[in-house]
Amino acid sequence: MTDKIGVDDLAGDIFNLNIRGLKSITALWRSPKTYFQAARRTDWSGRFTPSVRLWLSIIALTSLLQFIWIGSGSPLVEAYTQGFRDAGVVVAGETTVEELSEIAAVWIFGIFPIVQLVLFLFLLPLFPLWGKGTTFSLRVRYGFAMMVPSASLMVFILPSMALFPPGVMSSFGLGIGLMAFLVDAQTAYRGGFGGSVLRRALRAMAVSGLILTLNITAHIATQIAGIVFVSIRYGVTAA
């Protein structure tokens, strides 16, 4: 007997984002408290996609779209090119500075989600900001849940970098960080905490601030690692 395979199944095959996943994202935007309550159940109340899987699926979709904003002649690559030129970089062999910049950008943004995942899985839950009675695993679920809405926005925001001039890439990155902080905080405020308005706000901002700090750490680490890699691989020297 052959099961009927539909569009929902195909979407799950490609992005692991089926109808349940989309409903989970919608719930985290519209009524995050319902999703956070389900996170306390082993089976997510049979209604939602687990938050870690959901976040990974969104990151995978975002990575699939990288060709839009990381490519030859893109503003991001041009910003890297200008940075290398300002540093007086000389590339050995036939590789141009432009090609080196594209390779560096691909490597940096390729390993960035991996570093994020490690930090969010193993460091974020160590901080007991969710209150008593939350296990390490439940804090993992909560942490990724509050990041899903901001991650879903990145699917649209990151490709839009292709529309901006290279000179504003740093400001664009700061704007993304601020936006993510606010969206993460409002998700946690509305769904993750109880108590007074002030208590919920402070705890939500504390967790969101910690996530922002880990993201900055991941960004700095991947920038350094990517530049060191291409420098060694392509014989980069300073003029």
pLDDT at 88: 87
pLDDT at 95: 87
Give the largest Cα separation in the chain, rounded: 68
DSSP 3-30: ----HHHHHHHHHS--HHHHHHHHHHHH
Using pLDDT thresholds of 50, 70 and 90, give the confidence band for residue 223.
very high
Using pLDDT thresholds of 50, 70 and 90, give the confidence band for residue 104.
very high
Residue 9 in this model has a pLDDT that exceeds 70: no
Contact at 8 Å (CB) between 82 and 169?
A: no
Is residue 197 packed enough to be buried (19+ CB in 10 Å), middle (13-18) or exposed (0-12)? exposed
Contact at 8 Å (CB) between 146 and 25?
A: no
pLDDT at 17: 62
How confident is the model over 112-168, as pLDDT tens digits? 999 999 999 999 999 988 988 889 999 999 999 999 999 999 999 999 999 999 999
pLDDT at 5: 43
Report in angstroms the alpha-carbon separations of 77 from 36, 104, 164, 177, 211.
39, 9, 12, 20, 27
Contact at 8 Å (CB) between 139 and 120?
A: no
Of 182 and 231, the structure prediction assigns the larger pLDDT to 182
Averaged pLDDT, 81-91 = 89
Residue 49 in this model has a pLDDT that exceeds 60: yes
Q: How many angstroms separate the CA atoms of 124 and 136, rounded?
A: 10
Using pLDDT thresholds of 50, 70 and 90, give the confidence band for residue 72.
confident
Sequence letter at residue 186:
Q
Using pLDDT thresholds of 50, 70 and 90, give the confidence band for residue 58.
very high
Q: How many angstroms separate the CA atoms of 5 and 173, rounded?
A: 41
Tokens for 209, please give them: 């601030």
pLDDT at 87: 86
Averaged pLDDT, 197-226 = 96
Q: How many angstroms separate the CA atoms of 84 and 185, rounded?
A: 36
> Which helix (H) or strand (E) is 131 found in, with range?
none
Q: Which of 52, 221, 24, 49 is nearest to 124 (CA)?
A: 52
Q: What percent of the chain has pLDDT over 70?
A: 92
